[in-house]
């Protein structure tokens, strides 16, 4: 199965709450608000959630957008920026060109058995579907300007 946009069920929300994901911008140990939707690949037990930020500014002067990629119940932190250009053709059809910079990928050391390349490829796949979801399936072009190498950390 590929990544799909999916409404998060009550039992899935309980699962996410059990992971105790912190809100990235509060700095006070506050738990993140669980979103209503996620990007899911149920066959591979992979889930991407967005936690907010200011990545849309596509500038290092502002905080990025924060995401969590849940991989076999382990949480990978991802920081990213994006920009988009809206297009309207002569018939009035709207499309969007999207560019992403994945700035940081923080993975727990318990995922060291997964190659960095596989983590990057999986993140790119999840972000492709996230882009389609976010822009209502109007993505015309999608570019990853840069994708950071995953960093593995103990206790992350």
Identify which of 47, 48, 46, 55 has the alpha carbon closest to the alpha carbon of residue 25. Answer: 55
How confident is the prediction for the chain on average, in pLDDT?
91
What does the pLDDT look like over 8-58, one tens digit per residue? 999 999 999 999 998 888 767 888 999 999 999 999 999 999 998 886 777
What does the pLDDT look like over 66-82, one tens digit per residue? 999 999 999 999 999 99
Is pLDDT at 139 greater than 90 in this prediction?
A: no
**What range defines the domain where residue 13 resides?**
4-153
Total number of domains in the chain: 1
Residue 55 to residue 79: CA distance in whole angstroms: 8
Q: Is 59 exposed, middle or buried (0-12, 13-18, 19+ CB in 10 A)?
A: exposed
């Amino acid at each position: 199965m590929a990544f799909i946009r999916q409404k998060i069920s009550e039992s899935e929300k309980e699962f996410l709450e059990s992971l105790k994901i912190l809100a990235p911008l509060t700095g006070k140990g506050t738990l993140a608000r669980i979103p209503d939707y996620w990007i899911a690949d149920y066959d591979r037990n992979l889930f991407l959630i967005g936690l907010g930020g200011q990545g849309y500014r596509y500038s290092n002067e502002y905080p990025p957008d924060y995401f969590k990629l849940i991989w076999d119940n382990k949480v990978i932190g991802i920081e990213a920026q994006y920009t988009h250009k809206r297009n309207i053709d002569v018939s009035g059809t709207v499309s969007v060109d999207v560019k992403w910079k994945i700035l940081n990928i923080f993975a727990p050391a318990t995922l060291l058995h997964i190659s960095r390349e596989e983590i990057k490829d999986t993140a790119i796949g999840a972000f492709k579907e996230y882009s389609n979801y976010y822009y209502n399936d109007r993505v015309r072009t999608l570019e990853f300007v840069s994708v950071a190498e995953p960093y593995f950390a103990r206790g992350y």
